[in-house]
Structure 1
């Protein structure tokens, strides 16, 4: 494989009530809502993007939230844990903050000497906050809801749950260009690019675990970074030549994407760094209004009638929000 990824681009999950989703990820986790749009394949639900101030690749967690979606089952064939990076000195603050909001938290130190808080969002999605010992130089979204010195810096890693590791490990190393770092029991760690927070994936091998069921509270797909569309075209051709079943290049308005499954079952995406969330609204106003791609604008009135209003805290757009 001539082309390799530099790290995670985003993780997309399925949620329940969109207003509850916004409340948790903005007010409890202190992320910024950088885009309010719809699922391009099912316009009856939002597609909500959370991240840093501008929604840089590697900071993004996105959701398809259906109010009445049934609860899914986390298991093999899925990304079973999504981890965010926080400062090493902030774990204690986050533990108290989450408990104060009624979130149950477990605290451990893993074999990489990373202190980790694990918890669930309101729909049961498993999340963790990880203090990477080498630190994380990325600037956080600065909001009074979560002080900047403690704020999430971006994605840290994802955990893929599989029943057998060989084929999944081969795709990660041979088709995505990741490097195997080490194995700790039934957990294998790989890194992309320069490594560190935002470029890690763990493969958890659980042969007897039940198969995951994709619905509310589960990850839909994991996206990896590619610098531009020209590189993506070459990469797609290489994957096709190796017999991987890859989609055509899809216009996601803010980036371009291809999709395929790794052998263990998790849906993967390769998304371009080019594009950005300020292509259809100013940086200071990100997330405030429903944005639709040109091909859906003729259906705006119909789409808006299906979607509940969102209650965004003024801190999401402090410079432009009404006092």
Structure 2
């Protein structure tokens, strides 16, 4: 019977830094990259030994630039990876050389331990213990498999009893920590009474999965957990599993070893292709455009700069030197318009930007007092900031200003419209989808002040805000902009005709 840990899953806010740490510094192999099974727009990375063997896997959901969580009770708090005992000194040297936060070595339960922090602050313990890998990695001192995890529980005795369902038995006790032991690894359950509760977010370990012998074992476990909050059995393509929370609220998974990661890639090709869940196949190309890109160690990469607007880039396979900067609508994010922009210009590099103003937790470009009354001071401030961001982005990423276009929808189109009037030289070519005039005291444009601007406005005949579009059209025309304003048989929502007309205009 299979026992022990199948995988541990965390959440990261910076995919490139995550890859650099786990595949670069630690030397684990990226064995699979997929869209999330719960949210197909979410990138999910799997690291492990050379074949992604159960018991070696550390996985991460990517919440790029997402809000940080908080470690507390009711959570998985630490990962422990086994490394050859004689390698601890070299790992300490490597960590210090790479300027990775490290503590130790120390002794825990008779084992030598180094504590590292990954780029998100997740604690990764390297434990010097002889645990041979099922599929060894090229580096002779690379981690071989998962040694264990640490759980923070306010009900440690009940958590220990619950862990016994998955093949664990009581081991040693050291202070506030009780060790549970399987045939292959350990769970350290720490009494976290008095700790703050954990908060989900980036920099947090979401759950630990235990190994099930087969599908029947998962189904039997589901029956045994019928009086709990256990989920139905889920098909995750590479394994079948269920989820349940232990008495302390810690999220656990129970997963089969098979079919495994070589189901759709050869051993040599593991981790080289981005797969999407079966239910999202129709959106596969859109999802590949929306997900954050990264480079494996040794691959050419486009560095992401720390500019004053959160942003994400997408570089196509055959870039033509043009760039489209994308401004989302209310409640959107930096990736929302990437599928549309990719269809409009498949060979353009895309730079999606996130608005900095929030309203009841949703992203916007500037504050509003009601649906059609806008905070004028905030518009002026954000227009100035975004005009500066354009200059910074051009320098940081080596963009060609002559081949730069802007695409905005709704609230994003409104900010572009304001910038066109306030900073005429900042934006020379723009597509405004459902854009309106939001400036109450728009600057009077001298004749020819906006000459050189080329603008497409696509308005909706049934758009509830459409009555405010003519004022923007008039302001742009007054300044001499080359404006093409078209009205589509649509409301405020986007339609297929937006794609067709934008594509024809941009060409």
Shift of 1:19: 1.6
Verify: 1:177 aligned to 2:167, yes or no. Answer: yes
SS in 1 for 2:275: coil
Once the two structures are superposed, the pairs formed by residues 157-176 of structure 1 within 5 Å of their partners are 157-173=148-164, 175-176=165-166
For residues 212-241 of structure 1, what are the alpha-carbon distances to aligned partners after superposition, in whole Å with 9 as ceiling and x for unaligned?
A: 11111111110000011022111211221x
SS in 1 for 2:225: helix
- One of 90, 93, 104 as aligned partner of 2:101: 104
Paired position in structure 1 for 2:77: 80
Verify: 1:244 aligned to 2:228, yes or no. Answer: yes
Paired position in structure 2 for 1:136: 131
Shift of 1:177: 3.0
For residues 158-210 of structure 1, what are the alpha-carbon distances to aligned partners after superposition, in whole Å with 9 as ceiling and x for unaligned?
A: 0000123121111112x223110121110000011x24xxx210000021111
CA distance in 2, matches of 1:314, 1:35: 18
Query: What root-mean-square deviation, in Å, do the aligned CA atoms of Structure 1 and Structure 2 show?
Result: 1.5
Moved more, 85-94 or 64-73: 64-73
For residues 252-303 of structure 1, what are the alpha-carbon distances to aligned partners after superposition, in whole Å with 9 as ceiling and x for unaligned?
A: 0100010000111110000001111111111111111111233222111110
Higher relative contact order (CA 8 A, sep 6+): 1
CA distance in 1, matches of 2:258, 2:292: 31
CA distance in 2, matches of 1:171, 1:220: 18
TM-score of the superposed pair, with normalisation by structure 1:
0.89
Verify: 1:267 aligned to 2:267, yes or no. Answer: no
Paired position in structure 1 for 2:368: none
SS in 2 for 1:96: helix
CA distance in 2, matches of 1:226, 1:140: 20
CA distance in 2, matches of 1:142, 1:271: 24
Once the two structures are superposed, the pairs formed by residues 109-124 of structure 1 within 5 Å of their partners are 109-124=106-121
Q: Larger radius of gyration, structure 1 or 2?
A: 2
Shift of 1:5: 5.6
Paired position in structure 2 for 1:311: 295
- One of 11, 21, 24 as aligned partner of 1:24: 21
**Segments ≥4 residues shifted beyond 3 Å:** none
CA distance in 1, matches of 2:234, 2:77: 26
Paired position in structure 2 for 1:190: 180
Paired position in structure 2 for 1:318: none
**Number of matched pairs:** 299
Paired position in structure 1 for 2:145: 154
Shift of 1:314: 5.3
Shift of 1:307: 1.2
SS in 1 for 2:64: coil
Unaligned runs of 5+ in 2: 300-507
CA distance in 2, matches of 1:98, 1:119: 8
SS in 2 for 1:41: coil
Verify: 1:232 aligned to 2:234, yes or no. Answer: no
Is the CA contact 2:43–2:292 (under 8 Å) kept in the aligned structure 1? no
Shift of 1:139: 4.7
Structure having the larger proportion of residues in helix: 2
Verify: 1:13 aligned to 2:10, yes or no. Answer: yes
- One of 208, 222, 233 as aligned partner of 2:208: 222
Is the CA contact 1:16–1:68 (under 8 Å) kept in the aligned structure 2? yes
CA distance in 2, matches of 1:91, 1:42: 39
Is the CA contact 1:37–1:48 (under 8 Å) kept in the aligned structure 2? yes
CA distance in 2, matches of 1:139, 1:91: 21
The change in CA–CA distance for 1:5 and 1:189 in structure 2 (over 3 A counts) is farther
Paired position in structure 2 for 1:321: none
Is the CA contact 2:13–2:65 (under 8 Å) kept in the aligned structure 1? yes
